[in-house]
Structure 1
């Protein structure tokens, strides 16, 4: 059987807590997680095809993994032939959302699950699929199972942590190479494209780059050019095997003056205050309370913001520690103890009115005694135009 990053007893326990009898999963990230890392490459970047879309489906019944089914695209038959999926039932039949849903209904009927409480992922379930399920299975209740899978993924396995560490280290390396190779006259579009190439050379899948130059706080791509004596902030997500590395680093054309050193020092002081509170058993909110307390004492506090989030296969996932800051969700895990193997992104930014956008974003994994940071290089001022 494929090595999985979860165990079925834990999954069954989470389903018990949520009152679910079965799961019908349709998000690509949870399909990947349940299948042990597999994601079909043909639809990796885009789901739309013809008049519909690719809709992979995993069906799992609590305590009965022998009934697990996977519905994929017809071309996935070859993937299964080369590296068989662990699931006992595989149906390579789907060219549309309804193809997959009809087969899912047939599988549920075959295994005798036509009633009870079935967990689905509403944000990832098309309306035509939802209607078909409700019409075919009127005695079943379809409930939101999003949190069940979020909690299942919250503590990362050693293999997942290795991937996240590697993703972060490759991004920092790509950023340092990009800053060094960029200089006077390099436009934001050119710098972003250079970063994409650097990340691609390191076998990362480039997700995005948020970039500022000079005193501007605008992080979108443009023809603005980097000038001597200006700062640069570069914030990028790169994907390795589905797992996200998310880092922000700073650059400068020339030699940073004392004011810039002090400004980045304010950001770093907030980061370090938060890091100090990260360890297994500590409430998740403790790091953010500490960071906010230090931020409140900074000379430029009125221009600063501080926040953080869990990350892994999704850029914001469990543990959820802050409410609607910056993304809309409840900080439901704020008072819960952190667990070893959870992964956090901690970030502090300053939108200085004359010097520009100054930010550090770091990725940490929680350990029994504290934390380990991924991608530690380049956390000071990186010199541009040296490569």
Structure 2
């Protein structure tokens, strides 16, 4: 038996005092979480297996709902799908009240409305996740709770998750290590004539064998900068960039490593070393109390000093249950959002992804992406192996 899946908290599995403070700052009395990642967090890691890779069912979709009243965790309720009664019977769902009675969005939100109404006048300002609330569910909330003021709760919930617990960090370590191990096994099996689709299929199997949920693989090969899986065939001497996300119990391992069919020449070694140098410069800024934006500033300064600066990309972002979450370090990265943490100090338990890519016009797409955990002594880098050229010939 996998006991980790059967360990359920007997008290609220999150910092209720911190959530109460964050709700005070946002002016919220009640929180209605509807994103799968935030519901998972508030339930202490529980995630319904049936909808792990899809959410549509019948004429609607799965919509888990967690309702929390500020200062009263005992009034929390979880609304789930009817099939979650099986999980409830096994004692896997933490919540003072569990109503596994919904099939779609309307059912689920209706049960949440019923609960909020019972809270009476205490529910004047309600936080919702508008980006994770279907239109029909939002319309029903507005109609059913017409007396309340609705406010966006995304930031509140993101700040709650910004500093990872010891248990969360263990999951992130496992996710990172297993993703890189899967990449190493995949590079070992690459041969001339294989298609990029076949390489991705191999990686998928390797991740699944390591108890990861395969999420994606961005793959470039040869001189091409196109990172979509395709029927492009590998040739002797091709460089191979694999950037993959593997999910371990909800937490993302998102790293990038380089392979080659053959052995790298001196120019390729120098190019990858240049990327490695930029990665290390950025790492040196990471420690508790350091300003988040210093990571971006250090990486960008290293890029500007490079002879390849015109074809180099550098960024850094938070990662955990979501790719690109707190700490938010820049407004100019590939995913746009306000850089809240660029002027804030880093804290122990934050997790940061650092990535540098070189789009060389002749040698192809070359990239490293690493995961860094902020620790008391600076940082820790799970999955930090395989950072050089992984030659299929030498690994065979």
Q: TM-score, normalised by structure 1?
A: 0.98
User: What's the counterpart of residue 6 of structure 2?
Assistant: none
The CA deviation at 1:303 is 0.6
Partners of 2:29 and 2:123 within 8 A in 1:
no
Counterpart pick for 2:222 among 210, 214, 219: 214
- Matches of 1:266 and 1:184 in 2, distance apart? 27
Separation in 1 of the partners of 2:92 and 2:341?
37
| Higher deviation after alignment, 273-282 or 47-56 | 47-56
Per-residue CA deviation, residues 363-383 of structure 1 (Å, 9 max, x unaligned), is: 000012210001011000000
Q: In the alignment, is the contact (CA less than 8 A) between 2:242 and 2:256 conserved in 1?
A: yes
Equivalent-residue separation in structure 2 for 1:56 and 1:255 (angstroms): 50
Query: Residue in 1 aligned with 2:5?
Result: none
- Residue 264 of structure 1 deviates from its aligned partner by 0.6
- Per-residue CA shift, 1:342-373, capped at 9, x if unaligned? 00000000000000000000000001221000
Partner of 1:232: helix, strand, or coil? strand
Please name the residue that 2:310 is paired with.
302
Residue 204 of structure 2 corresponds to which residue in structure 1? 196
Cα distance in 2 for partners of 1:330, 1:178 equals 37
* 1:138-217 equivalences in 2 (<5 Å): 138-217=146-225
Is 1:73 the counterpart of 2:110 in the alignment?
A: no
SS of structure 2 residue aligned to 1:42 = helix
- Give, in angstroms, the shift of residue 154 of structure 1: 0.4
The match for 1:281 is: 289
Q: Map 1:307-326; keep pairs closer than 5 Å.
A: 307-326=315-334
1:292 aligns with 2:273: no
Please say if 1:9 is aligned against 2:17.
yes
Q: Which residue in 2 is equivalent to 1:54?
A: 62
- Cα distance in 2 for residues equivalent to 1:48 and 1:200: 23
Name stretches of at least 5 consecutive residues in structure 2 with no aligned partner.
Answer: 1-8
| Distance of 2:370 and 2:28 partners within structure 1 | 36
Q: Deviating runs (4+, > 3 A) in structure 1? A: 1-5
Q: Is the 8 A contact 2:33 2:65 kept in 1?
A: yes
Choose which of 245, 262, 276 in structure 1 pairs with 2:270.
262
1:227 to 207, 225, 235: 235
Is this contact kept in 1: 2:292–2:342, CA < 8 A?
yes
Which residue does the alignment assign to 2:365? Answer: 357
Alignment length (residue pairs): 387
- Cα deviations across residues 53-109 of structure 1 (Å, max 9, x unaligned)? 111111100001111011111111110110242211111111110001111111111
User: Partners of 2:102 and 2:367 in 1: how far apart?
Assistant: 45
Give the Cα–Cα distance (whole angstroms) in 1 for the partners of residues 307 and 12 of structure 2: 48
Offset of 1:166 from its aligned partner?
A: 0.8
SS at match of 1:328: coil
Partner-residue secondary structure (3-state), 1:333: helix
Distance in 2, Cα, partners of 1:209 & 1:3 = 38
Q: Is 1:116 equivalent to 2:106 in the alignment?
A: no
User: 1:31 touches 1:56 (CA, 8 Å); kept in 2?
Assistant: yes
Deviates more, 1:106-115 or 1:37-46: 106-115
SS in 1 for 2:381: strand
Distance 2:323 2:23 in 1: 24
Query: Unaligned regions of 5+ residues in structure 1, if any?
Result: none
Q: Which has the higher mean CA deviation after the structures are superposed, 71-80 or 340-349?
A: 71-80
User: By how many angstroms is 1:138 displaced?
Assistant: 1.4
Native 8 Å contact 1:307 1:347 kept in 2: yes
State the 1:6 CA deviation: 2.5
Moved more, 125-134 or 305-314: 125-134
Give the Cα–Cα distance (whole angstroms) in 2 for the partners of residues 303 and 3 of structure 1.
51
Number of the residue aligned with 1:98: 106
